[in-house]
A and B are shown apart, each in its own frame.
Chain A
C-alpha cells in the first residue's frame, strides 16, 4: 500500500515537475533537427499505418455495399442451355422455367422455404400524357419485395390479390415517378405500357442505386396473360429460413438443383442446364477475401510500425551517444542515474507521443477527407476505429519508451570519467 503511494507520488512528481519539463523543452528546442528526425519517423509510421488500415476498412465497405440491396438468404435459379445429351434429349437444349416449377418447389421444400417469387424481365415503352421513355419491367410475386429489399415510399407493393385477379396494377421506382409525373402524385394514375394501361398503386426506392429505381414491378400473372396467357418464367428467386444457417442453405441449394435437373431431364453432371446462385455463399467468399486483404494490410501496417520503432531506437542510441559527454558532465555535477534515465526516457516518450498524435490526426484527417473519392479503386468511406488507432498509438509509445530505455540505461551507467576524458 505504502509502496504504491510512494510510486504514485514519484510518478506524479515526474509528470508535473515544471523544472523537468523545462529541462526537456529546452533540450528539444535546442536540438531541433534531432527531435524533428526522430519525430518524423514516428509520425510517418503512425500515419501510414492509419491510412493503410483505413483503406482496408474502405475495401470492406465496398464489398458490403455490393450486397446491400439483396437479402442474403436467397437462392437465384436461372435456366440456361444444356451442355450434355441426356435421356434422348440432345445437348444445347434451352431450359425454361414455368409456373408448375414454382408449385413443385413450394410443395417439396416446405421445410427450407421462406418465400418464393418468379421474375419475368421485359423492357417496354412507357407513356404518361406527353412524356414517354423506355423502362425495364419486372413481373414478380409479392415475396420479391423482401428479397430485393424494395422500400415502398407510398402505396403498396404487388399483392396476392393482384396475382389472383391478374390485375393491371404496377409499382414504379422513384425515378420513374420523377421522370414521368414530375411533381404529380403518381398513385392512382394510369400509365401506358406497350399497348395497355396500368394503374400505379405504389412507388418505391432502392438502396442499390438509380438502375433499380428505374424499374416497374407488375404481377407476373398479368405479364403472362399479356403474352398469350403462357406460363413461362425467366428465373425464380427463393429465400430460405435464415435460422437454418449456412450449412443447411448449402444442403437446400444442392437438393433444389438436383430436384430441378431431374424434373427438367438434365444430366446431373451437366452444370449448364440450370444454375443456382447462392447469395450467402457469395457474401461469405467476398468477406473472406476482404478479411484476407485486411490481414495483408494490417501486416504491412505493423511492418511500418516496426520500422518506425526501429527508427526511434536507432535515433535514441545515436542521441545517447551524441550526448555521452553531456550526460557525463551532468553526472559529475550530481545527476543521479535515475535522473539521467528519467530525462532520456521522458524526452523520448514525449517526442514519440507528440509526433505520434500528429501522425494519427493527419492519417485520420486524410481518411475522413477521402469519403467516396476513391470509389473506382473499391475504397469507400475508409475509416479506422478508435480502438485500433489508440492501440497502435499506445504500442508505438510503449516501444518508443523501451527503445529509449535501453540506451538511457546505458547512458546512466556511463562513468563520468570515461565521458569526460579529453581526447
Chain B
C-alpha cells in the first residue's frame, strides 16, 4: 500500500501494548501495522475491548506503546519527555472526545483559543483565529456562550473547532458521536467530512457501522489485531451546518 514517494502521515509497525491487571498481563494490542496517508478519513472499527481506543491513545501520544515503531509526520515517536510530547501534541494533533471535554468555565471562544495559547500566539491573534474556526463550524454567534449553554451537537462542534484551531497534521476523534443522537451525529459527521474534503487527515474511532461508512476507509480491529482494512464508498452526509 505504501509508495516511497508519498509520505505517510502516520506509519506504525508491529505496535504492541499490554496492561497489567492484577498478576496477569492483558495483551491489548498484539502487533499493529498501519499506514495512513495525508488526506485520508479513516474509521477504526471494533467492539469494545478490541483495542481501538488504546491504539488511538498511542497515536495521540497520550499513552506509550510497549513495542513497535511509530512515525508521525516522519518523526519517530519514542521515549519522549513529557514536555516534548506536549509540544508534539500541540503541533501535530487535534483531539475530539466522546464527552467533548470542553473547559466548563471558559466560553466557546476561549475554549477554541486554548491550544493557540499553548502555541504561544498573542491574545488578539488567538481570538481572531478562534473566531474564524467557530465560524467554520457555524457557531460564530455562540462565541460567548459557556459549554453549559450549548447543546451536545454544538459542544462537539466547538470541540472540533478547538481541535482544528492549532492546524494539526492529524485530527483524532474518539467516538465523536457516541454521546449524540442520530440527527446531531450526522451533523457532526458532515462537518468532519467537510474538513476532510479540505485536505485534513482524520481518524475516527467508532463502533457504529453507519458512522464508519461515512469515512473513506475502514480499519477493523478485533482482539488486538487488524482483521480487515478496506477502502469503502463514502456515504456523504448532507450539509446541515
Name A residues whose Cβ lies closer than 8 Å to a Cβ of B: 18-19, 22-23, 26-27, 30-31, 325-326, 328-339, 412, 415-417, 420, 422
CA distance A304 to B115 in the complex (A): 42
The residue from B57, B86, B123 contacting A331, defined by CB atoms under 8 A apart:
B86
Which chain A residues border B57 with CB–CB below 8 Å?
Answer: 417
Q: Is the pair A420, B62 in contact by a Cβ cutoff of 8 Å?
A: yes
The residue from A18, A31, A337, A416 contacting B62, defined by CB atoms under 8 A apart:
A416
CA distance A417 to B82 in the complex (A): 13
How far apart are A357's CB and chain B's nearest CB, in angstroms? 26
Which chain A residues border B106 with CB–CB below 8 Å?
Answer: 26, 30
Given contacts A18-B123, A27-B105, A417-B57, 11 further A-B contacts (CB under 8 A): A30-B105, A326-B104, A330-B118, A331-B86, A331-B89, A333-B114, A334-B86, A334-B166, A336-B87, A416-B62, A420-B62
* B119 touches A (CB below 8 Å): yes
Which chain A residues border B26 with CB–CB below 8 Å?
Answer: none
Stretch from B35-43, B90-98, B208-216 at the A interface: B90-98
Q: Is the pair B90, A333 in contact by a Cβ cutoff of 8 Å?
A: yes
How far apart are A403's CB and chain B's nearest CB, in angstroms? 23
The residue from B60, B101, B110, B118 contacting A335, defined by CB atoms under 8 A apart:
B118
Number of contact residues on B: which range applies? 20 to 34
* B103 touches A (CB below 8 Å): yes
How far apart are A76's CB and chain B's nearest CB, in angstroms? 73
Evaluate whether A326 and B103 lie within 8 angstroms (CB atoms) in the complex, with A22-B123, A339-B118, A415-B63 already known. yes
Chain B residue with the shortest CB-CB distance to A29: B105
* Contact residues, B175-203 vs A (CB, 8 A): none
The residue from B82, B98, B102, B115 contacting A336, defined by CB atoms under 8 A apart:
B82
Q: Is the pair B90, A417 in contact by a Cβ cutoff of 8 Å?
A: no
* B99 touches A (CB below 8 Å): yes
Which chain A residues border B115 with CB–CB below 8 Å?
Answer: 333-334
* B83 touches A (CB below 8 Å): yes
CA distance A27 to B101 in the complex (A): 17
* B157 touches A (CB below 8 Å): no
* B117 touches A (CB below 8 Å): yes
How far apart are A408's CB and chain B's nearest CB, in angstroms? 14
Evaluate whether A329 and B101 lie within 8 angstroms (CB atoms) in the complex, with A334-B86, A334-B90, A334-B91 already known. yes
Contact with A along B121-159 (1 / 0, CB 8 A): 011000000000000000000000000000000000000
Which chain B residues border A330 with CB–CB below 8 Å?
Answer: 103, 114, 118
How far apart are A341's CB and chain B's nearest CB, in angstroms? 11
Q: Supply 5 A–B pairs (Cβ within 8 Å), ascending by A.
A: A26-B105, A30-B106, A329-B102, A332-B60, A412-B82
Which chain B residues border A30 with CB–CB below 8 Å?
Answer: 105-106
CA distance A417 to B90 in the complex (A): 15
Q: Is the pair A26, B110 in contact by a Cβ cutoff of 8 Å?
A: yes
CA distance A31 to B106 in the complex (A): 11
Q: Is the pair A338, B91 in contact by a Cβ cutoff of 8 Å?
A: no
Q: Is the pair B123, A334 in contact by a Cβ cutoff of 8 Å?
A: no
Q: Is the pair B118, A337 in contact by a Cβ cutoff of 8 Å?
A: no
Q: Is the pair B105, A422 in contact by a Cβ cutoff of 8 Å?
A: no
The residue from B62, B90, B118 contacting A415, defined by CB atoms under 8 A apart:
B62
CA distance A412 to B82 in the complex (A): 9
Which chain A residues border B82 with CB–CB below 8 Å?
Answer: 336-337, 412
Q: Is the pair B83, A23 in contact by a Cβ cutoff of 8 Å?
A: no
The residue from B105, B118, B122, B123 contacting A333, defined by CB atoms under 8 A apart:
B118
CA distance A337 to B81 in the complex (A): 10
CA distance A22 to B114 in the complex (A): 12
* B162 touches A (CB below 8 Å): yes
Which chain B residues border A329 with CB–CB below 8 Å?
Answer: 101-103
How far apart are A409's CB and chain B's nearest CB, in angstroms? 12
Q: Is the pair A422, B99 in contact by a Cβ cutoff of 8 Å?
A: yes
Which chain B residues border A18 with CB–CB below 8 Å?
Answer: 123
CA distance A326 to B97 in the complex (A): 13
Q: Is the pair B91, A333 in contact by a Cβ cutoff of 8 Å?
A: no
Chain B residue with the shortest CB-CB distance to A27: B105
How far apart are A55's CB and chain B's nearest CB, in angstroms? 42
How far apart are B93's CB and chain A's nearest CB, in angstroms? 8
Chain A residue with the shortest CB-CB distance to B83: A336
Report the 4 A-B pairs with minimum CB-CB distance, sorted nearest first: A334-B90, A30-B105, A334-B118, A417-B62
Which chain A residues border B101 with CB–CB below 8 Å?
Answer: 325, 328-329, 332, 420
Q: Is the pair A333, B89 in contact by a Cβ cutoff of 8 Å?
A: yes
Contact with A along B13-50 (1 / 0, CB 8 A): 00000000000000000000000000000000000000
Which chain B residues border A339 with CB–CB below 8 Å?
Answer: 118
Evaluate whether A31 and B105 lie within 8 angstroms (CB atoms) in the complex, with A23-B117, A333-B162, A417-B63 already known. yes
The residue from A325, A338, A416, A422 contacting B83, defined by CB atoms under 8 A apart:
A338
CA distance A339 to B117 in the complex (A): 11
Q: Is the pair A332, B117 in contact by a Cβ cutoff of 8 Å?
A: no
Chain A residue with the shortest CB-CB distance to B103: A326
Which chain A residues border B103 with CB–CB below 8 Å?
Answer: 326, 329-330
The interface centre, meaning the residue of A326, A338, A339, A422 with most chain B CB atoms within 10 A of its CB, is: A422
CA distance A400 to B22 in the complex (A): 38
Chain B residue with the shortest CB-CB distance to A332: B95
Q: Is the pair B87, A334 in contact by a Cβ cutoff of 8 Å?
A: yes
CA distance A336 to B83 in the complex (A): 5
Chain B residue with the shortest CB-CB distance to A325: B101
